[in-house]
Amino acid sequence: MDFAKFASELSGLVWGLPLIVLLFGTHVFLTFRTGFIQRFLPQAIKLSFSREKEGEGDVSQFGALMTALAATIGAGNIIGVAGAVATGGPGAVFWMWLTGVFGIATKYSEAVLAVKYRVQMPDGSYAGGPMYALERGMGQKWLGIVFAAFTCIAAFGIGNMFQANAVVETLKEWVKPGAEAESVLRWVAGLVMAAITGAVILGGVKSIAKVCGFLVPIMAVGYLIGCILILIKNASLLPQAFSDIWNGAFAGQAAVGGFLGATIKQAVQSGIARGLFSNESGLGSAPIVAAAAQTRNPVRQAMVSSTATFWDTVVVCAITGLVIVSSGHWKEGIAKGALTNAAFEELHTIGPIFLLFGLMTFVFSSILGWCYYGEKAAEYLMGTRAVKPYRILWVIMVLVGSVQPAAAVMDFSDAANGLMAIPNLIALICLSGVIAAETKAHRDDLTGKS
């Protein structure tokens, strides 16, 4: 069995109905368990811009958020949304958005546990995340080991190979090379990305946070400007786009043009799977860097962390989805990478430039953020001696991802994400009482009275 077929079958097996129900059900459950934490989003956004050192930790709350956003806002926001629409029709955008709204509570809960159960390492740095919550909160170290192992593997998919591959696929749409030239393009792009990545990650989390703190605001604003310009151009088509998204979410999408059609199940499955891939709520990745934040209590950092899901899915993914659906190109049945490119060509020359800028910066930042997640998981499994070899392997895999077929990389990433999410969701459900207690104990932080 070749890698592409294996990855496809594994992804289909992992992302069956049970995991989708578990994931979305956890989002809803934690929304109620935290007393609808989403209503405190304005205060959370205000707090997230603070760069003051509030307590012990390795990076500021802002730095932790920027690193998390760097890892979260990646190719999934561009190529992933197109993939969801290509597979599940316009209705998938609704389920992606809804996953983001409820996922805010899950992202908040993950960070509460990450800060509460974090530990200080011999070198003075902090380490935390689901593996420590499973070990120290539940007394189930074996589950912590399972989570860390899946994280090490998943990081190479969602945070490395998929990201690098997305850049190459977009460059292909631009350059349109022949067979031999395509091979050269893949190798050259891969080598350049690998070299730049290696130059940054050798400095560790502080270097990563510094670069991400500079890069994330610029890349997000630049990309959104491009999207908004397209939506202004397509203003007359937006009512139909909203109608297609709403109807497709609950009735599926009939075949039209080159689009083969999609059932409600496909819309839900594609939307939720791509939603997790994009915002990572429930995945257990973002709390790894939240544990390194300088904060005086778990709730304050959890509020900051929760805003990442809002910006990523409720804003960036929703706008990307509107751009793709309103363009009408999804009806042509073209592939996800080409679909995004076609939508941005609505602005002729300048549109693809916005797309390439967004994708290049999103991808690079994701590769940096996910390297930190993966190395902390490796550190949990094998100690600090594993960090340097992991970084070297990380750089090599950027090159590997650049030369692999796109479909195989996407399927592998999906499967690894699902396996990583399961032990994290177990921790969130079993320790929901701890989350609720911490939320109640620090209620003044939620209302801004502290």
Number of domain units in the chain: 1
Task: Determine, yes or no, domain membership for 114.
Answer: yes
* pLDDT score of 113: 95
- Note whether 50 and 62 are within 8 A (CB): yes
Whole-angstrom distance, CA of residue 337 vs CA of residue 258 = 16
Residue 252's domain comprises 9-441
Task: Determine, yes or no, domain membership for 314.
Answer: yes
Length of the chain: 450
Task: Determine, yes or no, domain membership for 2.
Answer: no
Task: Determine, yes or no, domain membership for 1.
Answer: no
Q: What does the pLDDT look like over 34-81, one tens digit per residue?
A: 999 999 988 888 887 766 666 565 566 677 677 666 666 766 677 778
Task: Determine, yes or no, domain membership for 342.
Answer: yes
- Greater pLDDT, 311 or 139: 139
Task: Determine, yes or no, domain membership for 301.
Answer: yes
Number of helices (H), then strands (E), belonging to the chain: the values are 22, 2
CATH value at residue 309: 1.20.1740.10
Whole-angstrom distance, CA of residue 182 vs CA of residue 25 = 43
Half-sphere exposure of 178 (CA within 13 A, CB side): 1
Whole-angstrom distance, CA of residue 205 vs CA of residue 201 = 8
Mean pLDDT of the chain: 81
pLDDT at 269 over 60: yes
pLDDT at 406 over 70: no
Task: Determine, yes or no, domain membership for 117.
Answer: yes
Q: What does the pLDDT look like over 293-313, one tens digit per residue?
A: 888 888 888 988 888 888 888
Virtual torsion, Cα 328, 329, 332, 333, nearest 10 deg: -120
Task: Determine, yes or no, domain membership for 4.
Answer: no
Q: How large is the greatest C-alpha to C-alpha distance in the chain, in angstroms? A: 63
